[in-house]
């Protein structure tokens, strides 16, 4: 049944019904109660999106916190304001990271030092954060050139992309010396509620969500944001990965959760309308898959496909992120037999050709899909 749910996702129409937003956003340095013993605060980010949400669970004498923001003094100042103000000076017993990206755990080390909290996250996300923090331009150069040039990038553009990535190296502060693993199927007791941990590849290697046992609350991280669909990208270290297949599996499993669950995303506002949002996300990726096949009517490199499918993102300087997403589309279509990879004998870049008949392209295009970043 799971395979069937994944296979026909692209043929489902995306509903036009809007989501429900029941909570007012907190002011800087403040928090908003979204459910008994659970509070919402926001930390600023210096790039698109503007903020990351953190979730504060009242444990009586202590707190549990989910995610903690970027490394740096600005984040420290915001946390100090929260700790001294609405959090009442109480200690934090546990910091949970939904995944290892810098806007979620970049401040983990200093936060645990400030509060005495233990640090918990999925094992693969710990090692992802360790690897990302250790990156340098020199360590990335060889792998990046091989990855990008093999996929059709001009070498000079590859080097510029690497320079842009180097600007993000400082977004991780020190990491804690150790962590507690959370894993798929585990149960945590937080704030008087039992929460089940679910993990999956998709936006990250082992992204965690926390679902309250009564299905009233879902801490969703970056997997179910209310407006933008999550970036699902292939990384240079695993060029044949198929994270979209994993992500669609997760969406199929989430359809069993109550529609009235309050979804708590890491960016944007809490909302109700889980299945509506799932269908919108499916519609977004259906459009992207159709555009990928259209761009490969004639043999094309992944670089060429990216500049066609994500032309607005590329124009805004987001080529690296867009390229990772392009490869996730390409790899899914390769796995389904809808795309054929052709390796030239001269050692040149891989080229791709659509194997799906032209008539099928129309079936993959879903009207009304949520795709704000490319409008």
Q: Give Cα 144 to chain centroid, integer Å.
A: 22
Could you tell me if residue 335 is inside a domain? no
The tokens of 231 are what?
A: 């970036």
Q: For the segment 132-151, what is each residue's pLDDT rounded down to a tens digit?
A: 888 776 777 777 888 898 89
Q: Residue 221 sits in a domain of what CATH number?
A: 3.60.15.10
Q: What angle do CA 45, 51, 52 make, to 5 degrees?
A: 105
What is the pLDDT, as a whole number, of residue 146? 84
Domain interval for residue 135: 2-287
User: Looking up tokens 């008949």, which residue turns up?
Assistant: 357
Q: For the segment 182-197, what is each residue's pLDDT rounded down to a tens digit?
A: 999 999 999 999 999 9
Could you tell me if residue 116 is inside a domain? yes
What is the pLDDT, as a whole number, of residue 17? 64
Could you tell me if residue 372 is inside a domain? no
Give how many domains the chain has, as a whole number: 1
- Spell out, as residue ranges, where the chain has pLDDT lower than 70: 1-17, 48-49, 137, 169, 356-375
Could you tell me if residue 273 is inside a domain? yes
What is the pLDDT, as a whole number, of residue 33? 97
The tokens of 266 are what?
A: 């890491």
What is the pLDDT, as a whole number, of residue 368? 31
The tokens of 280 are what?
A: 């919108």
Could you tell me if residue 154 is inside a domain? yes
Q: Give Cα 256 to chain centroid, integer Å.
A: 21
What is the pLDDT, as a whole number, of residue 134? 85
The tokens of 181 are what?
A: 């693993």
Could you tell me if residue 230 is inside a domain? yes
- Assign 3-class secondary structure to the chain: CHHHHHHCHHHCCCCCCCCECCCCCCCCCCCEEEECCEEEEEEECCCCCCEEEEEEEECCCEEEEECCCCCCHHHHHHHHHHHHCCCCCCEEEEEECCCCCHHHHCCHHHHHHHHCCEEEECHHHHHHHHHHHHCCHHHHHHHHHHHHHHCCCCHHHHHHHHHHHHCCHHHCCCCCCCCEECCCCCEEEECCEEEEEEEECCCCCCEEEEEECCCCEEEEECCCCCCCCCCCCCCCCCCCCCHHHHHHHHHHHHCCCCCCCEEEECCCCCEECHHHHHHHHHHHHHHHHHHHHHHCCCCECHHHHHHHHCHHHHHCCCHHHHHHHHHHHHHHHHHHCCEEEECCCCCCCCEEEECCCHHHHHHHCCCCCCCHHHC
What is the pLDDT, as a whole number, of residue 225? 95
What is the pLDDT, as a whole number, of residue 16? 55
Could you tell me if residue 375 is inside a domain? no
Could you tell me if residue 355 is inside a domain? no
Distance, CA of 72 to CA of 70 (rounded, Å): 6
Distance, CA of 286 to CA of 344 (rounded, Å): 29
What is the pLDDT, as a whole number, of residue 19? 95
What is the pLDDT, as a whole number, of residue 370? 35
User: Residues for the chain: how many in total?
Assistant: 375
């Amino acid at each position: 049944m799971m395979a069937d749910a994944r296979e026909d996702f692209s043929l489902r129409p995306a509903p036009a019904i809007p989501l429900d937003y029941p909570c007012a956003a907190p002011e800087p340095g403040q928090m908003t109660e979204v459910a008994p013993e659970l509070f919402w605060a926001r930390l600023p980010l210096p790039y698109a999106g503007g903020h990351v949400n953190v979730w504060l669970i009242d444990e009586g004498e202590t707190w549990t916190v989910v995610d903690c923001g970027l490394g740096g003094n600005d984040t420290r100042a915001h946390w100090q304001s929260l700790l001294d103000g609405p959090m009442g000076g109480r200690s934090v017993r546990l910091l949970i990271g939904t995944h290892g990206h810098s806007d979620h755990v970049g401040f983990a080390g200093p936060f645990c030092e400030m509060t005495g909290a233990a640090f918990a996250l999925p094992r693969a996300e710990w090692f992802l954060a360790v690897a990302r923090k250790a990156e340098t331009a020199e360590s990335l150069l060889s792998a990046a050139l091989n990855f990008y040039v093999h996929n059709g990038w001009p070498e000079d553009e590859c080097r510029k992309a690497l320079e842009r990535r180097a600007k993000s190296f400082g977004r991780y502060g020190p990491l804690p010396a150790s962590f507690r693993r959370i894993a798929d199927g585990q149960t945590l007791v937080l704030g008087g509620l039992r929460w089940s941990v679910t993990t999956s590849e998709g936006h990250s290697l082992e992204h965690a969500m926390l679902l309250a046992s009564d299905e009233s609350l879902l801490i969703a991280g970056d997997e179910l944001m209310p407006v933008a669909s999550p970036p699902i990208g292939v990384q240079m270290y695993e060029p044949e990965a198929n994270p979209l297949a994993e992500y669609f599996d997760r969406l199929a499993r989430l359809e069993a959760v109550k529609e009235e669950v309050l979804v708590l995303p890491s960016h944007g506002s809490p909302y109700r309308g889980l299945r509506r949002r799932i269908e919108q996300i499916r519609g977004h990726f259906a459009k992207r898959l159709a555009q990928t096949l259209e761009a490969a009517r004639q043999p094309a490199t992944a670089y060429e496909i990216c500049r066609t499918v994500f032309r607005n993102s590329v124009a805004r300087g987001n080529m690296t992120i867009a390229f990772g997403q392009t490869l996730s589309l390409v790899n899914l279509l390769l796995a389904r037999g809808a795309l054929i990879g052709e390796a030239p004998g001269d050692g040149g870049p891989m080229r791709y050709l659509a194997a799906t008949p032209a008539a099928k392209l129309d079936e993959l295009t879903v009207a009304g899909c949520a795709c704000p970043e490319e409008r």
